[in-house]
A and B are shown apart, each in its own frame.
Chain A
């Protein structure tokens, strides 16, 4: 059975150079797919390369970085091979992105309306009046009260939650097939977060777009995702359906991560935690990058871990994938 694929990231590598000229392998051979209309979550802790991966899909890597290899296939065509002109037609039209900090993504000197209209005019051949009507419709769609009035307001006049809604309105104004949402609710309060997540779910139903959700919050993953890609230190360590990851994960890091999250519905005397800390990209260990923190580690881990397919798209990169099965059990 072959699933339809909207986006396929194949062996993507993004390297940066720091001030001393040393190379940081921030994203180092990442592969995953996003089916149309589904939500795929890219999870991991800070520095794991999840945001860099998201930006690289749109070829928005910062000047001190470069895409060092791999392919990004969107509906079969390799975005990395497109000219900058062709790429501009993809950004915003086919693939849109929203960020953690809406105040950083909205231009403070233009009204919300002007910014959405600009996005619409860039990609659709409609009149300015029609674009304005579309913008108003989008603001209404994302649940902003009094959309006509809001069009004439500046970003600073909106609350954090409203700004995030405005950014979503702008991102979706051209009905993209894929929305990349990079920590879309991290800066928001939990009751506002609930509103935004519900909005994304609702809009996905209406517009039918796929979502690539970048987050560190496993609660949001369980809530939103169909499929999950777990990243650690620039590599994918495990991917599978939401149930594969939460109920039968096989990578020791995934397991450690799940066990170290305090849960609102369970009392625990002491949380399990992963020893040590996330390595910085200059000092990623050779072989398996989880070395030094793993309870299954032995000398074989000094070599690159193999890709172990467990069926139905559940894949783990670990020398001890067979062993880790026994580590599960009720928390």
Chain B
């Protein structure tokens, strides 16, 4: 668990994408994918970021790594402001921040052998001397549960689960401090997903990693995270320690999200809270609280004023005018 030291701090981060139309590709609007997000990640913890498609969780991950340039706000990594760092100065920091993507089929270069894929980062960042490279690559492969004989093979020779193990080996090769996993388990089958989830947990202990675990799958996030951050339409709606979050979620959206996940046990009966309508477009987000168009507890004020993210219990933040008004028992609080 975290030792209290802040490894990553994000302040009022915004990422807007221009929407262009017409012959001259004139900007006709802005898609506010991430719209004023602030949070901290402590060294050694796993912060789970959940939300539905279009909530901005992937954009957030890419922006933190500066794979996308932030529109506004600041990003601090290990105390250093990296928001506007030029590429040359960013490179040594990139070594400390690695990413694992969802699709292991497109994130591994099909023309490179496993050896070349794993060596690339080691060479660029001069992590190990040239003569120790071979041993290091074999060690990495074995560490993620693959045979060392695979070094000469190409990505297409592997199954989805094996490819994801290779992606993980590549990410840990540089001994990073922070790993951002974006839907890293989503493309895997159930039986294989459990293996890879367990592997991520082991590696975290072994290499003292800090994870930012982005996923739409609440059940997986529950298994791996210490704290949970919920996003809706580019905003943080709730941030809480895992236990508090699942025992007593305070934002109506979090409650609906938890209640919508089917439990693989026919003996468990639970209240189903079914939200009406679709997620609105981030091009024209609703006024006030962005969730008010779908919220079963919305009042007049919700359409007028945007609720700030407030700490209502120690470590438990929520952005809602009526936190706790919708509960998993379905009663009004």
Listed in ascending order, the chain A residues whose CB lies under 8 Å from chain B are 45-46, 159-162, 189-195, 197-198, 216-223, 242-243, 246-247, 256-265, 267-268, 270-275, 277-278, 280
The stretch of B58-66, B100-108, B116-124, B193-201 that contacts the partner chain:
B193-201
Listed in ascending order, the chain B residues whose CB lies under 8 Å from chain A are 52-53, 159, 161-162, 189-195, 197-198, 201, 216-220, 222-223, 246, 256-268, 272, 274-276, 278-279
Chain A positions within 8 Å of B275 at CB level = 191, 194-195
Chain A positions within 8 Å of B189 at CB level = 45-46, 216, 278
Select which of B191, B218, B219, B262 is within 8 A of A273 by beta carbon: B191
Chain B positions within 8 Å of A265 at CB level = 263, 265, 268
Q: Are A271 and B53 in contact (CB under 8 A)?
A: no
Select which of B52, B159, B192, B219 is within 8 A of A191 by beta carbon: B52
Select which of B216, B223, B263 is within 8 A of A190 by beta carbon: B216
Q: Of all chain B residues, which has the CB nearest A232?
A: B191
Measured CA separation A306–B272 after assembly (Å) = 41
Q: Are B266 and A217 in contact (CB under 8 A)?
A: no
Chain B positions within 8 Å of A272 at CB level = 194
Q: How far is the CB of B147 from chain A (nearest CB, A)?
A: 13
Known A219-B263, A263-B264, A277-B162; judge A190-B257 contact (CB<8 A).
yes
Chain A positions within 8 Å of B257 at CB level = 190-191
Q: Of all chain B residues, which has the CB nearest A273?
A: B194
Measured CA separation A259–B198 after assembly (Å) = 13
Q: Are B265 and A191 in contact (CB under 8 A)?
A: no
SS of A interface (majority): helix
Q: Are B222 and A262 in contact (CB under 8 A)?
A: yes
Chain A positions within 8 Å of B262 at CB level = 197, 217, 219-220, 222-223
Chain B positions within 8 Å of A262 at CB level = 194, 197, 217, 219-220, 222-223
Known A257-B190, A273-B191; judge A190-B260 contact (CB<8 A).
yes
Task: Point out which of B190, B193, B197, B275 has the most chain A C-beta atoms below 10 A from its C-beta.
Answer: B190
Chain B positions within 8 Å of A270 at CB level = 198, 201
Measured CA separation A46–B195 after assembly (Å) = 16
Select which of A162, A190, A278 is within 8 A of B261 by beta carbon: A190
Q: Are A263 and B219 in contact (CB under 8 A)?
A: yes
Q: How far is the CB of B211 from chain A (nearest CB, A)?
A: 15
Chain A positions within 8 Å of B278 at CB level = 159-162, 192
Chain B positions within 8 Å of A275 at CB level = 195
Measured CA separation A45–B189 after assembly (Å) = 6
26 intermolecular pairs with C-beta atoms under 8 Å apart: A159-B278, A161-B278, A190-B261, A191-B52, A192-B278, A194-B260, A194-B275, A216-B190, A219-B219, A222-B262, A222-B263, A223-B262, A242-B266, A247-B267, A257-B191, A262-B197, A262-B222, A264-B222, A264-B246, A271-B198, A271-B223, A272-B194, A273-B194, A274-B194, A277-B162, A277-B192
Q: Of all chain A residues, which has the CB nearest B202?
A: A270
Measured CA separation A262–B260 after assembly (Å) = 15
Q: Are A273 and B198 in contact (CB under 8 A)?
A: yes
Measured CA separation A218–B272 after assembly (Å) = 17
Chain A positions within 8 Å of B162 at CB level = 277
Chain A positions within 8 Å of B53 at CB level = 189
Measured CA separation A265–B328 after assembly (Å) = 12
Q: Are B216 and A219 in contact (CB under 8 A)?
A: no
Q: Are B191 and A274 in contact (CB under 8 A)?
A: yes
Chain A positions within 8 Å of B219 at CB level = 219, 261-264
Q: How far is the CB of A237 from chain B (nearest CB, A)?
A: 13
Q: Of all chain B residues, which has the CB nearest A280?
A: B159
Measured CA separation A235–B272 after assembly (Å) = 34
Chain B positions within 8 Å of A261 at CB level = 190, 194, 219, 264
Measured CA separation A138–B161 after assembly (Å) = 42
Select which of A192, A193, A267 is within 8 A of B222 by beta carbon: A267
The 5 closest A-B pairs by CB, nearest first: A219-B262, A273-B194, A260-B194, A218-B264, A189-B52
Task: Point out which of B189, B261, B262, B276 has the most chain A C-beta atoms below 10 A from its C-beta.
Answer: B262
Q: Are B198 and A246 in contact (CB under 8 A)?
A: no
Chain B positions within 8 Å of A271 at CB level = 194, 197-198, 223
Q: How far is the CB of B49 from chain A (nearest CB, A)?
A: 15
Q: Of all chain B residues, which has the CB nearest A228?
A: B266
Measured CA separation A162–B278 after assembly (Å) = 9
Measured CA separation A272–B257 after assembly (Å) = 26
Q: How far is the CB of B97 from chain A (nearest CB, A)?
A: 26
List 4 extra interface pairs beyond A194-B272, A263-B219, A277-B192, CB under 8 A: A219-B219, A219-B263, A259-B194, A278-B192
Chain A positions within 8 Å of B260 at CB level = 190-191, 193-194
Task: Point out which of B159, B220, B266 has the most chain A C-beta atoms below 10 A from its C-beta.
Answer: B266
Chain B positions within 8 Å of A247 at CB level = 266-267
Known A191-B52, A219-B263, A258-B264; judge A277-B159 contact (CB<8 A).
yes
Chain A positions within 8 Å of B223 at CB level = 262, 267-268, 271
Measured CA separation A194–B201 after assembly (Å) = 30
Chain A positions within 8 Å of B259 at CB level = 194
